[in-house]
Amino acid sequence: MTAGILRRLTRLIESAYDISRQEEVSEADEEAWWLRVEAALCEAFGRESIQHETASRKRRRAALRLVNLNPQSPNKSDEVSEHYRRLVSEQASYLKIVVSEIEDRDMDVEVPVGKSSGVVGKKVFVGHGRSSEWLVLEKFIKDRLRLEVVEFSSVPTAGMHTAERLKQMLDQSNIAFLVMTAEDERADSVRVARANVIHEVGLFQGRLGFERAIVLLEDGCEEFSNISGLGQIRFPRGNIAAVFEQVRATLEREGLLVALR
């Protein structure tokens, strides 16, 4: 039964990632996803459980952010879409905690998704949002350092679910650079990275560890608690090239490059 719960929750987390990559996220998108989450939590733990109550409370609190949006804002539709995108992402983060608690409690349960096979890939993964900064980094790694780069769009999409594409990239990658650029603005005027990049940070940190899942954090982009002081390189806004030598040094440290003496 536990393995079935883990599979169901994992699929919900994966579907949240699909939603986070949509151009627009509507109230209907969030509502449909939440109903599936609620059903899974109630079936697994009960309606009166701490898991269901915590998820419901988080959702109610998040609804207050929507109320506080400026109705006169010229970007109101974008802000509403980002509200629902962020809401789904936050709930998915909580589901990851629930999954971790189940795994800690039942260490003998085989978890079919997200576990490493022990085989480490040879490629460099670059996670990114819409900013073109990642292209500059990709060119440096490919052309100057002669290493193979993989990113989400480089995997053929025909007939392949998002979760399968992510698993393929996790299996192929030896190290990951996650480029967090200040692209989205919250209602409180704080600029944050795209939700899909934040999701990729968690995935690759879980698979490769903090030493090999490196966050490249643009000045002006809010960091989140999971990366505070851990495995990150900060770069000036619009100038990722300023940290190329740190990127090179990281690759040398992890054995992907031979240091020049």
Residue 110 falls within a domain, yes or no? no
Confidence (pLDDT) at 199: 81
Instruction: Calculate mean pLDDT across residues 5-11.
Output: 85
Inform me whether the pLDDT recorded for 237 exceeds 60. yes
Write down the pLDDT at residue 170: 87
203 belongs to a structural domain: yes
User: Is pLDDT at 249 greater than 50 in this prediction?
Assistant: yes
- pLDDT of 5 > 90? The answer is no
Of 54, 71, 105, the residue at which a domain comes to its end is: 105
Whether pLDDT at 117 is above 60: no
- Same domain, yes or no: 41 and 79: yes
Range of the domain at 240: 123-253
Please tell me the distance from the alpha carbon of residue 239 to that of residue 219, in angstroms, as a whole number: 10
CATH number of the domain at 213, please: 3.40.50.10140
Please indicate, yes or no, if residue 239 is contained in any of the structural domains: yes
Q: How many domains does the chain have?
A: 2
> Could you tell me if residue 258 is inside a domain?
no
Instruction: Give pLDDT tens digits for 199-232.
Output: 888 888 888 888 899 999 998 888 765 555 566 8
Q: Indicate whether 259 belongs to any domain.
A: no
In a domain, 111, yes or no: no
Long-range contacts of 7-11 (CB under 8 A, 24+ apart): 7/112, 7/113, 8/40, 8/44, 9/40, 9/44, 9/95, 9/98, 9/99, 9/102, 10/99, 10/111, 10/112, 10/113, 10/114, 11/163
pLDDT digits (tens, 9 = 90+) for 67-107: 666 666 666 678 888 888 888 888 888 888 787 777 655 43
**What confidence score (pLDDT) does residue 115 get?**
42
| Torsion 36-90-63-48 (CA) sign | positive
pTM, rounded to two decimals: 0.53
Q: Are 219 and 191 in contact (CB under 8 A)?
A: no
The pLDDT tens digits for 123-170 are: 999 998 888 888 999 999 999 999 999 887 765 555 566 777 788 888
